[in-house]
Structure 1
Amino acid sequence: MDLTLERFYKFELGRLVITPAALEAVSMYDYIPAIELHRCGMWGDLCQEDKAQNDMAVEAGMRILSAYHTDDNVKFWIITEWDRSVTTVLLPDDY
């Protein structure tokens, strides 16, 4: 049985990067699972309208943004660029 998530992936991530502030504030135990959720189309803490926008962005080749929180309630974003060349983990203040 294949237990990998690959069959659920909706898009390519490109190069993975994390901002210095996010690296300091967000544990890899929070951002690595969040990256997997992002890539599978589970957009985190977004309103329904933004989730629908992301669903459309996957198909149309537009930028994708997901929002998550750490166990300590630190909010962080994951953004995949429109051309799927890079995915960035960042804090909202980094934007």
Structure 2
Amino acid sequence: MQTERVTFLTTPEAKAALTARAAARGLSTGEYIRLAVESMPEETAEELELAALVGELAGVVPEMRASLERTARQMEETVDRVDRMLREAGVRK
């Protein structure tokens, strides 16, 4: 026996679409949603873990990119400085 209720908010257009889809199949909107949800494959533990990792990566990638760009600039400056020093010392022309 079904005794629990689930309520969610949606747009009037989405509700009308759900109602129409359910009616086309001879179902109530609630039954249509229940069947749709039950037919979805459950996420595995690995999928949930992967989703969490993707979220974590999305948060740190911009910081990593900025750090790599700073490092590249510092390396270019160091190469320029060393090149200048070698030219001043007469080692490089």
TM-score, normalised with respect to structure 2: 0.25
Name the structure where strand makes up a greater proportion of residues: 1
Larger RCO: 1 or 2 (CA < 8 Å, sep 6+)? 1
Choose 1 or 2 for highest CA Rg: 2
TM-score, normalised with respect to structure 1: 0.25
